[in-house]
Structure 1
Amino acid sequence: MLLGLCSRHYGAWLPGWVAVYAGDTLWALLVYWLLGLGWPSCPAKWRAVVAISFSFFIEVSQLYHPAWLEAARNTTLGSLVLGHGFLWSDLVCYTVGVLLGYVADQGLATKQLKPITQR
């Protein structure tokens, strides 16, 4: 979450594409990791499907503008979670973020950790 916030705050010092796309990519990665923390026994594929579905739902909800939802979006937390405007590129970023989490999960799951032995 901190990296995503930094990518927005310090965007002027980052390459343009990083400043534009890193926050949304990291946001979806955060959703995937939070699902892993909340439900560690669920399969990684399930967490990926739920994370991408949730992320896409939030993005599509940005096409809906009732007063109560706009009021929520105008708070700091609401802005961070709900966003403000629909962008197709955000859907790509969310997909990349969840895939990064899934691939990392698979790499950690297949890597055999050797126990530390005493000498």
Structure 2
Amino acid sequence: MTFYAKSELILLRARMSYLIVAIIVMFLGIVSRRYGDSLPEPVAEHSGDVLWAGMIYFGVRMLFAQKSCSRAFGIALTFCFAIEISQLYQAEWINAIRATTLGALVLGKGFLAADLIRYSIGVAVSFGLDRYINNRILRSG
């Protein structure tokens, strides 16, 4: 196997790993919203947005697996902030999209400054886990 083929295989494995993690985080986010009544109030109130931002981080890592964790951090946080700030725009056409389930999950409904903090925490925690796991893999392999 050539070096190029090996590096492509490594990149594919990394992308698949990030996709799986993003799906798991998305599932946890949906569960946190659906069963929020069963969770402690602070967890129910904040976990959905924190997990959404984590899903965005791992999605960015999947798309740009060859880039650094730091770059993914910046892209994910910028994306999350842009989505939240876009909620200040309340035109009829975008509100119709936001009224759908998928539109509400992706675009949200209304601007909340607290969401910026939640997104920052979600991206930061995901970044930290990613760095920790990658450093463990590098040390053991």
TM-score above 0.5: yes
Out of 97, 102, 118, which is 2:122 matched to?
A: 97
Aligned AA (1:96) = I
Aligned AA (1:24) = D
Q: What is residue 25 of structure 1 aligned with on the other side?
A: 50
> What's the Cα RMSD here?
0.9
Unaligned runs of 5+ in 2: 1-25
Aligned counterparts of 1:11 and 1:66: Cα–Cα separation in 2:
30
Residues 27-80 of structure 1 show CA distances to partners (whole Å, capped at 9, x for unaligned) of 000000001111100111110001000000100111111111001101111000
Within-5 A mapping of 1:39-78: 39-78=64-103
Aligned counterparts of 1:82 and 1:41: Cα–Cα separation in 2:
27
Which protein has the bigger helix share?
2
Unaligned runs of 5+ in 1: 115-119
The Cα shift of 1:113 comes to: 2.4
Normalising by structure 2, we get a TM-score of 0.78
Aligned counterparts of 1:28 and 1:88: Cα–Cα separation in 2:
15
Aligned counterparts of 2:140 and 2:109: Cα–Cα separation in 1:
43
The higher relative CO (CA closer than 8 Å, separation ≥ 6) is in 1
Kindly indicate whether residue 140 of structure 2 is the aligned counterpart of residue 113 of structure 1. yes
The Cα shift of 1:109 comes to: 2.0
The Cα shift of 1:88 comes to: 1.2
Aligned identity (percent) is: 40
Q: What is residue 41 of structure 2 aligned with on the other side?
A: 16
Aligned counterparts of 1:113 and 1:66: Cα–Cα separation in 2:
53
Secondary structure of 1:41's partner? coil
Aligned counterparts of 1:113 and 1:97: Cα–Cα separation in 2:
27
Q: What is residue 28 of structure 2 aligned with on the other side?
A: 3
